Structure 1
Amino acid sequence: MERTLSSDLHFVEQSSAQHTHLPVRLFANFMLWQRRMNTRRELARLDPRLLADAGISEAQRYNELSKPFWR
């Protein structure tokens, strides 16, 4: 398959753009994971009355707490 000059330039631009944004995406994922861990830690601390006020059942809490941080 033959590529034209313009398609090669476009391909290079996409590739370099992806590498430029990689640290930003990694940092964003790290921050998301950190927020999930903190939120789940707080969810684990809620007593049954506060869970009921928030409209969260024990089963829902268990399901959320059993997830790994990346999900």
Structure 2
Amino acid sequence: MKLMSYNQALALNAQPLPPLSRVLVSLALTVAGWELRHRTRKQLAQMPKHMLRDIGLSESHAEAEAEKPFWRA
């Protein structure tokens, strides 16, 4: 799933958003990105070894990725 970028969100409207709305849209997209990272890393941490091999990840790489905080890309 790909998150909509800030510019894509603005392009949906013909008229530019007011400044406060732009800030709120940006904040909402940031929080959505954090939630997606958190969920994905949680799933990665629970993946069995054979599935990690199937997607080309070592256990150590998967563990390192899963341990990152949600705000770090």
Indicate the residue corresponding to 2:34 in structure 1.
Answer: 33
Indicate the residue corresponding to 1:63 in structure 2.
Answer: 64
1:26–1:50: structure 2 CA closer, same or farther, 3 Å change rule? same
**Alpha-carbon distance, 1:57 to partner:** 0.4
**Alpha-carbon distance, 1:62 to partner:** 1.5
- Tell me, which stretches of 5 or more residues in structure 1 are unaligned? 1-16
- Secondary structure in 1 aligned to 2:71? coil
Pair member with larger Rg: 1
Q: 1:14-40 CA distances to partner (integer Å, 9 max, x unpaired)? A: xxx543310001000010001001101
**Alpha-carbon distance, 1:54 to partner:** 0.7
Indicate the residue corresponding to 2:52 in structure 1.
Answer: 51
- Tell me, which stretches of 5 or more residues in structure 2 are unaligned? 1-17
Aligned residues: 56
Cα separation, 2, equivalents of 1:59 and 1:25: 34
Cα separation, 1, equivalents of 2:39 and 2:27: 18
Amino acid at match of 1:20: S
TM-score w.r.t. the length of structure 2 is 0.68
Amino acid at match of 2:50: R
Amino acid at match of 1:43: L
How large is the RMSD of aligned CA atoms in angstroms?
1.6
After the TM superposition, list the runs of 4 or more consecutive aligned residues in structure 1 that deviate by more than 4 angstroms.
none
